[in-house]
Structure 1
């Protein structure tokens, strides 16, 4: 399971945790403007916006978990098991009988980021999209996902379900997994009494209470690893977060926001004695084009600047995830 969030200071930031029991071989991948993107039903796009994100590259194709483009638009896919549903390709679109755009789930992120500079432009494209159940190959079945799409001005959540495509405005700029987004948002009503300030007693005017600890205004904030609890915790942490607006302060604070829902090995046990962990956490400065990340055993922040690459190239640029950390001895 995973958690995604946005954050805005002087620049706009977006990122996520990727929580799973194993890695597919993750690489920070830059797709330059002239890399030919072959879409299953929509032809080849030879010229497009450049993008950067974490991907598993298969057959020289970037299967992005999340990415953002040179215009500042970001997008991330998160698990949405038992709720996600996709369609068969629409023959009317294939035959040119309608403006329906058949897009396979695995190519949804590059489809949007290759041509849209803003959330509003993405909304325009989503009017015509038919997300298909087309597999990348026999080794990669369709992932059950929903998506967060954001720029510096707005944020939306996209969910493809059995009753159609749902597009929600996302005022908290947070996404986790199940249940569907509208239920997650309604659940926040249960936590309206939380506060970053110390509480005032409303229990009874006949009792005196002792505020014996700092932080008691947030009593009741969930701390477990379930997706609904992580949604609440990151929403509260992000929306009460304060930092300087310089790059170092903003990036550091963003990692602290997502760090509030880190998954430690041993706390989420799966079958066959496997454990879900936070494999990596990323923070993307979509304004400057810098992709930052940490990994489970390497908490040093690593950075890849897309503008230091040849964005007019036609080949993927790949940086494997740095997973080994170092301990700095100070004596």
Structure 2
């Protein structure tokens, strides 16, 4: 299970948690402008916008979980198990395999306006990457600094939804996630006033009581509500340090700890990593379950005209700063 969110101060930020019981061996991967993407049904793309994100590399191909391009568009795929259905190949459309969807969009779109135009002629197809890596059941959030959309491929076709909160988790489908926010319209960061009965002397006996009823469990529907409430009420200064710190705190509201979500006997889902992309500047920040220090990779430090992938290993192992040594 996973959670994605957007955030805007002076710059635009986008990121996600990846929650699972094991890692496939992830890397921060830059695909420069001249790295050739070989798309299974639409041919090669030898020149494109540069992309940076978290990916599993297989057969010299980046299987991106989340990424952004040099033009300011960001995108993440999140589990959508039981609802995601991909189509068969069709004529007169652009047939894109599920695992190609992120590079297909980010390679050639500089805004959500262009993303929407591209989606009008796309067909997300059921072609697996390999026998060892079958189809992942996903839906996606795509954002620029002006807007976000959610894309869901289901049995009744491809759905594209405006996403006004800039948040996505897993199930149920996005319209139901948004509808449930109606149940929490009374929540507020302010202290509540007594509307229960004017003849009863009821008091707010603790700070934070305006948030009473905010769900605290780890289900995807509850995480949607919690991170949406946290994100829309989050306040930050506009410096890079303040903005990045606040973004990690926003996604920290849905962090998963080992032992709290058992998925099989002795196996537990945890937040393997949390990412924060400064989409404006092209900097990919992240931390991991085993290393809460924030690390960063700046795509613009690299040769973005190269034709070779640039990969950085994920830094593991907690970094503890002993002040008296």
- Do both proteins adopt the same fold according to a TM-score greater than 0.5, normalized to the shorter chain? yes
Q: Answer yes or no: is 1:156 the counterpart of 2:156.
A: no
> What residue in structure 1 maps to residue 21 of structure 2?
21
- After TM superposition, give the deviation of residue 329 of structure 1 in Å: 1.1
SS in 2 for 1:190: helix
Give the distance between the partners of 1:111 and 1:57, measured in 2 at CA.
Answer: 16
Identify the match of residue 106 of structure 2 among 113, 120, 129.
113
> What residue in structure 2 maps to residue 330 of structure 1?
323
- After TM superposition, give the deviation of residue 3 of structure 1 in Å: 0.1
Q: Answer yes or no: is 1:59 the counterpart of 2:59.
A: yes
Give the distance between the partners of 1:231 and 1:21, measured in 2 at CA.
Answer: 20
Give the distance between the partners of 1:162 and 1:234, measured in 2 at CA.
Answer: 28
- After TM superposition, give the deviation of residue 35 of structure 1 in Å: 0.2
> What residue in structure 1 maps to residue 120 of structure 2?
127
Q: Answer yes or no: is 1:245 the counterpart of 2:238.
A: yes
Q: What do you get for the CA RMSD once the two structures are aligned? A: 0.5
> What residue in structure 2 maps to residue 222 of structure 1?
215
- After TM superposition, give the deviation of residue 8 of structure 1 in Å: 0.3
Give the distance between the partners of 1:106 and 1:71, measured in 2 at CA.
Answer: 21
Give the distance between the partners of 1:235 and 1:260, measured in 2 at CA.
Answer: 10
- After TM superposition, give the deviation of residue 89 of structure 1 in Å: 1.0
- After TM superposition, give the deviation of residue 295 of structure 1 in Å: 0.3
- After TM superposition, give the deviation of residue 87 of structure 1 in Å: 0.8
Matches for 1:127-146 after TM superposition, within 5 Å: 127-146=120-139
Give the distance between the partners of 2:21 and 2:316, measured in 1 at CA.
Answer: 15
1:81-108 deviations in Å (ceiling 9; x for gaps): 0000001111x2xxxxx2x000000000
Give the distance between the partners of 1:284 and 1:327, measured in 2 at CA.
Answer: 24
> What residue in structure 1 maps to residue 83 of structure 2?
83
> What residue in structure 1 maps to residue 277 of structure 2?
284
In 1, are the aligned partners of 2:76 and 2:141 still within 8 Å (CA)? yes
1:45-92 deviations in Å (ceiling 9; x for gaps): 0000000000000000000001000001000000000000001111x2
Give the distance between the partners of 2:61 and 2:19, measured in 1 at CA.
Answer: 23
Give unmatched runs, 5+ long, in structure 2. Answer: none
Q: Runs in 1 of length 4+ with deviation above 3 angstroms?
A: none
